[in-house]
Structure 1
């Protein structure tokens, strides 16, 4: 056990002390956040400004069209299409729209907007929204319907769901459970790919450089494999925690760094889905009212995070010990390992919507799928949606699965780490695992 700890410590320190670790750990979130802020900034600060001339011969809009800082409307009288084109060429307007005198507000009105150059997608959507909103307002007035009457007619009924046990089954709670389950499962999915492949590359490097031949003279191959898995896993965990802290801190600092940008993002119609969801949660008082057991979810996330990493890392280490310099050999052997991870994320997309379905239950129990799928189910509640026996069975099977894969990988590792010049296959690796020494 002491040798495993020494190897894990060496793997951890050699990677953490590299400049590449600092660059990827610190600069990557900063670069990602910077690009994200720039995209939002340029999306809400469009340089395209349009002043649209409106020749409303039928007085459809009643000289009322609301604009904003980028889109404005000017009603003109006594101008025809030719004169409006000349105004555009003189850059007096950036476009014009003519509404014929026979247009009826209660009928379908076709509005053709002529511009000198092609209109961008965002500006096009803004212009369409403002014209449609004005048409709707004028139609209501023509039908003697006030906005208050329309709002009253659109009021939705207060529909509530509950279980036979009397538990309130609110849509807000389901939405939060969906988001938490999806994000948790997706994070584990990413971790399995990134750090599992990192373990495989580490084993391949030592085998190709013949360092493993020197190391195994003083330690057992199984100890070497476990030390590498634990050391690289610790690197990934530290990096993961730093990323979460940095992204959370930068998210809180965004309104302080760009106060004008924050206000524009809040008022803009181009808010992204995450911002809209955050506003909905904040305005509805959802945070604090939803009955979600976060300590349980966090504890299960850590368990499945570590369990899934250990299970798949042992398999990736197994492949790394069997292949030689040719990376194509590794790619061919990785397929049976990567396919269960991909199937897990596919099953998870169903489990977040139907956590009690047969496929979701199977995926949450099978060790190769459970680290991803079970997190999608746990977020919906343990005890009612996920029975306690299923959670305990899933954890037990994951532990058994890790023990088996570690045993299997240790057997293959013992033979593969010292074998060169032969292209391996899973059939031959299976023989290595059950070979008697």
Structure 2
């Protein structure tokens, strides 16, 4: 045990003292905050699709004043003294961005063959805005032909908005679905990234020590299993240190650097009624089961890391001077991680489907998938089963990879195959 602690101490201190550790630990939170600041600024600024559209309307869709649809900031100008053939060749030179052509048709029966000319392919968002403006005009014409007042039609229309509330015993909290979904996805994505980054870090560390022959010296005084576990735990401790620093920095920036009036920035009419976008987000965050989220995140972070770090350590131990050999072994290990991410993405819309439940129980995918569905009232029995299976998975894969590591770390000059690795697994100590 003392030897494992010495290896842990060495792995931890060597990495923590590096300038790259300090640089990335401070830089990443700033990059994340800057990234969300840019997203927030873009969402607040809104769109800038203020284009000028020339309209040749031979079907009489529009009156003299065209009513824009919601969000469409284009300026529509009806052209009455030009034909399509003569005008479409020089509409750009006349200061128009697009040309909308509506051929003769009965608006009450058909809306086909409408054409929009543009100098380059139109963005989907802008195209949809123009289509909605045309839809509004067609709707108005059809109401007029049916002698239905537009005000009466609008009074019949309904736009229902359901307020979701989470009821735990007698406590009732308002839930904001998008906030719960975002936090859920972020937790699963973070576990996914952690397993890839720190798992490959373990693999590279083992490869470097093997290639430089340092492992031979260390194995002379430390058992291969102790060396492997010390390396895995030491690098994992580096990851935990980084997360502790990141959380501290983010919380500090959130509560210490308070910007006056932030709660009222970027509000939409719907959000303004509830106190602004930030108030809506805070309400959603307040409805989440944070004790469950944090405890499960720590467990699945450690569990997922230990499971995959042992696999990556085994891969590093069998690679010789040609580091490209690692690619044939890394791909099968990475596939379950990627599969977990795919299943988690499906779980955002259907968290209780059989595939998502299986993914949250299967040890190779549960760290990602379970964190992706933990917000959706997962039965306690499933959480316990998932944790037990993950612990069993860690014990099994650590046992398997320890056998591979013990042989591979001292083998040089020979390319190892999967068949040989399987033989090492079943070889008696």
- Give the structure-2-normalised TM-score: 0.75
Question: 1:297: which partner in 2?
Answer: 293
Structure 1: unaligned runs, 5 residues or longer: 268-277
Question: 1:271: which partner in 2?
Answer: none
- Does the 8 A contact of 2:359 with 2:365 survive in 1? yes
2:398 matches 1:398: no
- Does the 8 A contact of 2:53 with 2:99 survive in 1? yes
Which of 139, 152, 155 is residue 156 of structure 2 equivalent to? Answer: 152
Secondary structure (helix, strand or coil) at the match of 1:65 reads: coil
Aligned residues: 414
Distance 1:366 1:88, change over 3 A: closer
What is the CA deviation profile of residues 314-336 of structure 1, one whole-angstrom value per residue up to 9, with x for unaligned ones? 12112211221222332223344
Q: 1:183-222 residue pairs with structure 2 within 5 A?
A: 183-222=186-225
What is the CA deviation profile of residues 391-435 of structure 1, one whole-angstrom value per residue up to 9, with x for unaligned ones? 333323322332333233333323322221222234433444454
2:413 matches 1:421: yes
Q: Distance in 1 between matches of 2:254 and 2:301?
A: 24
Question: 1:386: which partner in 2?
Answer: 379
Q: Distance in 1 between matches of 2:364 and 2:127?
A: 48
Structure 2: unaligned runs, 5 residues or longer: 269-275
What is the CA deviation profile of residues 19-66 of structure 1, one whole-angstrom value per residue up to 9, with x for unaligned ones? 333444444565577677778878968787532334556654222224
Which of 379, 400, 407 is residue 399 of structure 2 equivalent to? Answer: 407
Q: 1:332-371 residue pairs with structure 2 within 5 A?
A: 332-349=328-345, 355-356=351-352, 358-371=354-367
Secondary structure (helix, strand or coil) at the match of 1:304 reads: helix
Q: Distance in 2 between matches of 1:334 and 1:249?
A: 38
- Give the structure-1-normalised TM-score: 0.74
Question: 2:94: which partner in 1?
Answer: 91
Question: 1:118: which partner in 2?
Answer: 120
- Does the 8 A contact of 1:140 with 1:147 survive in 2? no
CA RMSD in angstroms comes to 4.7
Secondary structure (helix, strand or coil) at the match of 1:423 reads: coil
Q: 1:130-149 residue pairs with structure 2 within 5 A?
A: 130-142=133-145, 143-147=147-151, 149=153
Secondary structure (helix, strand or coil) at the match of 2:295 reads: helix
- Does the 8 A contact of 1:178 with 1:353 survive in 2? no
Distance 1:41 1:368, change over 3 A: closer
Q: 1:6-405 residue pairs with structure 2 within 5 A?
A: 6-27=6-27, 30=30, 50-56=51-57, 60-66=61-67, 71-80=74-83, 84=87, 88=91, 90-97=93-100, 104-109=106-111, 110-114=113-117, 117-118=119-120, 120-121=122-123, 122-142=125-145, 143-147=147-151, 149-156=153-160, 179-240=182-243, 263=266, 282=280, 288=286, 290=287, 292-349=288-345, 355-356=351-352, 358-381=354-377, 385-388=378-381, 390-405=382-397
Distance 1:27 1:106, change over 3 A: same
Q: Distance in 2 between matches of 1:34 and 1:400?
A: 40
